[in-house]
Structure 1
Amino acid sequence: MELRDKKVLVTGGGTGIGRAVSLALADRGAVVAVNYSKSVNEAEETVRMIQDQGGHALAIQADVSREEEVLAMVDTLAREWGAIDLLVNNASVTRHIPMDDLDAVTEEAWDELFQINVKGMFYCARAVAPFMKKQKQGVIVNVGSIAGITGSGSSLPYAVSKAAVHGLTRSLAKSLSPYIRVNFVAPGAVLTRWWEGREQQMEQLAGSLLLGKTALPADIAHMICTVLEQEALTGQIITVDAGQSMQ
């Protein structure tokens, strides 16, 4: 699929991997909606970065855990653009809880992570699906983590939420075929703001990886663009982790 002139919604598009994806898509000629929940300044800065390079983008607010906000956002974009071709389901949250401290895992943590990381992705996919079906073409990429494969990560409920999105991806790929492709990109450790204050831990991890370094947000963005372009790919989980999941 040629990405030029495609209309793309990137959730959590103002920071980290979301920003890198937004920039990479715009560089390929796509028109990008940079979604944010609270990071308005970062989202608007991402839009300015795209526009400064001659690209087309807009910032749009919605909390993906609230379906009414998702529907309003998608309706606004559909009226603005006339179509929504691609969705990058990137918005996500975590809680840093030691994996062996089960008593520290609260009901609130479970609810927040599943509401945003799993149900939020479903809400966004369901909202854009009618527009993609109408044009008989569309692509959804869910962005997750190798925590959903390895079972370890920033917290137990985070890892479980990402494993749930693996299942969601496969089920959506079946439910939305043949016109809508759905895939999952699972990054390993990537130096984003989630690692602020723990840079030393990141450096130690990087030294243990097969490639001797962690991936950058741009590496993940490049893979997401490749997955969007590849027309014979659906229902797949693709890791970009510098060999982390092989340890």
Structure 2
Amino acid sequence: MDINGTVAVVTGGGTGIGAAVAESLARKGAAAVIVNYSRSSVAAAATVARVQALGCKAEAVAADVSDDAAVRRMAERVRADYGRVDALVCNAGTTKWVPFPDLDGLTDEVWRQVMGVNLMGAFYCARAFAPDLRAARGAIVNVASIAGLLATGSSMAYGVSKAALLQLTRDLAVALGPAIRVNAVAPGLVATRWHIDRLGEQVFGEMAAKEEQKAPLRRTAQPEHIAQLVTALLESDMVTGEILVGDGGRHLAY
């Protein structure tokens, strides 16, 4: 896919990896980027402003991706406003921080919320935008996590949701081919507010330093590094159903 002139939808596009993806697509010449958000309206507006400053059309669209009706309304709005969708980046995600041994902490509500956003949200978006992506012979990239491949992460529910998202990626690649390619990225530790707000800058910095010592590249990923992977998969016309790990090689020595 040549990103130049395309229309892209980025869920969870207001902050972190999603915002970096939106800006990366704008720099690659995208005609328009729809920045989806659920709560971060101020951040989404700021992302839109940065994308527009790069010469790309952009707008923020509120929708809870775990709500199928809301996703369908978003798809209808984008279809009416832009007439096409070439790329879908399912980046919206959530978690609940629950230590692995605390099985009682994994309540039904925790499972519903985490699976609803991280797994069902990606499915609802793929289903709603499939007709547009099929017409454009477009592509989907799901943002998963190394927690979907290894027993690590913020909670068991989070890891299970990301593992399921990786399987959904493979299944959708089969279901939506040959017109639509579907791939995923699996980041490791990334310097975003996702971790920093939870841990604090000092604790996050200490954790990142320890992780860097175990990674061949000896550095912590920034959102821009994951955005590189996302755009690379969108551009890779002969790749589908694949998972690209972006953790500086840390997974080689877990």
Fold-level similarity (TM above 0.5): yes
Q: Relative to structure 2, which stretch is displaced further, 102-111 or 43-52? A: 102-111
Q: Is residue 206 from structure 1 mapped to residue 230 from structure 2 by the alignment? A: no
Aligned to 1:112: 113
Aligned to 1:4: 4
Runs of 5+ unmatched residues, structure 2:
none
Matches within 5 A, 1:1-247: 1-30=1-30, 31-135=32-136, 137-196=137-196, 197=200, 198-199=203-204, 200-247=206-253
User: 1:151 & 1:183 partners in 2: Cα distance?
Assistant: 22
**Secondary structure in structure 1 of the residue aligned to 2:142:** strand
TM-score scaled by length of structure 1: 0.97
User: 1:244 & 1:98 partners in 2: Cα distance?
Assistant: 21
User: 1:235 & 1:34 partners in 2: Cα distance?
Assistant: 25
User: 1:187 & 1:134 partners in 2: Cα distance?
Assistant: 30
User: 1:35 & 1:132 partners in 2: Cα distance?
Assistant: 17
Amino acid corresponding to residue 38 of structure 1 in structure 2: R
**Secondary structure in structure 2 of the residue aligned to 1:150:** coil
Q: Relative to structure 2, which stretch is displaced further, 200-209 or 190-199? A: 200-209
User: 1:109 & 1:243 partners in 2: Cα distance?
Assistant: 31
What RMSD, in angstroms, separates the aligned Cα atoms of the two structures?
1.0
Report if aligned partners of 1:151, 1:160 keep a CA contact under 8 Å in 2: no
Tell me the CA shift for residue 162 of structure 1.
0.3
TM-score scaled by length of structure 2: 0.94
**Secondary structure in structure 2 of the residue aligned to 1:151:** coil
Runs of 5+ unmatched residues, structure 1:
none
Tell me the CA shift for residue 245 of structure 1.
1.2
Report if aligned partners of 1:195, 1:202 keep a CA contact under 8 Å in 2: no
Equivalent pairs, count: 246
Percent sequence identity is 45
